[in-house]
Amino acid sequence: MKSLVKIAWRSLWRNRRRTILTAAAVVLALVLALFMRSMQFGSYDQMIQAGVNQVGYLQVHDTGYWENQSIDRAFFYNKNIGEAIKKIPEIQMAIPKLETFSLASYGKQTKGVLISGINPVLQNKKTHLGKKIVKGSYLSNKQNEVLVGDNLARYLHISIGDSLVLLGQGYRGITSYGIYTVKGIFHLPSTEINSQVVYMNLTAAQYFVYPYQKGLLTGISLYLKDPLKLQEVKQQLSVSLGKHYEIISWKKVLTDILQSIKVDNISGQVMLLILYIIAAFGIFSTTLMMTMEKRKQYAIMISIGMQRSRLVWVSILETIIITITGILAGLIIVTPILFYLHANPIPLTGEMSKVYEQFNIEPILPFAVKAHIFISQTLIIFVLSTLSTLYPIIYLSRFNILKAFRH
């Protein structure tokens, strides 16, 4: 009914200040919620990106390697694999790896380590390992050089130029043995890596593990031009590589990052919940006031013959108008800001930036602009304020009109 809209609309104008204040509560809640979410999702993207830079979007292994990471599940690189990868233009880079466990000793100290055979140039492109060298220098293409983590070096009392003895089980049960010169000592954010990993040239690692045939790998990390094409690429590869190879996405590899994101996300949601409660309370108290203030007028309307169910619409319309106005204003304010910050993230300086760099993360505060953030926050705020009309609905459908006259 047109009059109801008219009554609701004009009532809002009549109490302009309160209407504006309530709409402002909606605006504030929406702006804050969007800001928080955008920043949160931005940092998640950043963490994931840093993780993906380490491990690749996809990894190709011999089938079963991921479940049971034994050197016996390694595979020999062949032309077919190379061609299958090259055939897919979406793949930007492929980094082969050979990883195996071994004993490392120097002097009287011995420790179990993970030997990681890498292509120094490609690896440095994605992970900037070269920048993490705290003593000595990065790998060249000499076959007898290794990099050790600072914790491992301390444990073994080993330093630059010293000879590290590696002894382990090679491919197909052979015994592997080698002596290597420490070229550099690195420090990465992960203590686990710092106390466990020994990097060497891929070819050196291959020779160490199985000197009889070239090209042994435990995996190939693949980097994509467009991460959104992940499923597509995975599909294409698994068709061309066949069932002897497994293709694993970063989601399976980076479970701990995803887990910590999940935990952080919950704390973010708790913050949001508090924000929502405050906003809902603001909206609710206004609708409550609007209803109570007008109960005499409402009583007259029912007396002269207006059904309560119609009256309820006035109240609902008022709240919906306020909410939609608030939501639109909020979106108009916050959207350009978020898009700006997404394009021009805030750079971090000082200590913070060092921490970020250590983690191989660009020292910026990124903002994500994703449709789902906007849609979910807008919907939640809309539902919240719509819920706040519940009280007027209940009140108007049962209040005693004669009592309303007497007060």
Partner 1 sequence: MSIIEIKNVFKTYNETSVPVHALNGINLKIGKGEFTAIVGPSGSGKTTLLNIIGGLDLPSKGDVFIEDVNLKNLSSRQLIDFRLHNIGFVFQAYNLIPVLTALENTEFIMELQQVPKKEREQKAIRLLETVGIGDKKDHKPGQLSGGQQQRVAVARALASQPKYIIADEPTANLDSKATEELLDLMRNMNKQYHTTFIFATHDQRVMDRARRIVTIDDGKIISDEQTEK
Q: Are 273 and 384 in contact (CB under 8 A)?
A: no
Q: How many residues bind partner 1 (CB under 8 A)?
A: 22
Q: Closest Cα partner for 152 from 104, 196, 107?
A: 196
CA-CA distance, 221 to 124, in Å (whole number)?
14
**Phi then psi for 349, rounded to 5 degrees?**
-125, 175
Least distance from partner 1 to the Cβ atom of residue 321, Å = 13
> Where in 123-142 is the site for partner 1 (CB under 8 A)?
none
CA-CA distance, 30 to 13, in Å (whole number)?
23
Nearer of residues 7 and 81 to partner 1, judged by Cβ: 7
Nearer of residues 92 and 297 to partner 1, judged by Cβ: 297
Per DSSP, 70 falls in state -
Nearer of residues 9 and 101 to partner 1, judged by Cβ: 9
Q: What is the CA radius of gyration of the chain?
A: 32
HSE-up of residue 324 (Cα within 13 Å, Cβ side): 7
> Where in 13-42 is the site for partner 1 (CB under 8 A)?
13-14
> Where in 368-407 is the site for partner 1 (CB under 8 A)?
401-402, 405
Nearer of residues 259 and 397 to partner 1, judged by Cβ: 397
**Phi then psi for 225, rounded to 5 degrees?**
-70, -45
Sort strands 145-149 and 175-186 into parallel, antiparallel or unpaired: parallel
Nearer of residues 135 and 308 to partner 1, judged by Cβ: 308
Please identify, among the stretches 135-143, 152-160, 293-301, 325-333, the one whose residues bind partner 1 according to the rule CB under 8 A.
293-301
Binding to partner 1 by residue 235, rule CB under 8 A? no
List the beta bridge partners of residue 243.
Answer: none
Binding to partner 1 by residue 176, rule CB under 8 A? no
**Residue 95 CB neighbours (<10 A):** 21
Per DSSP, 325 falls in state H
Binding to partner 1 by residue 281, rule CB under 8 A? no
> Where in 302-361 is the site for partner 1 (CB under 8 A)?
302-308
Least distance from partner 1 to the Cβ atom of residue 22, Å = 17
Nearer of residues 99 and 318 to partner 1, judged by Cβ: 318
Least distance from partner 1 to the Cβ atom of residue 20, Å = 17
Binding to partner 1 by residue 5, rule CB under 8 A? no
Q: Extract the tokens encoding 190.
A: 């992960």
**Phi then psi for 104, rounded to 5 degrees?**
-120, 135
Per CB under 8 A, residues contacting partner 1 are: 1, 3, 6-7, 10-11, 13-14, 296-297, 300-308, 401-402, 405
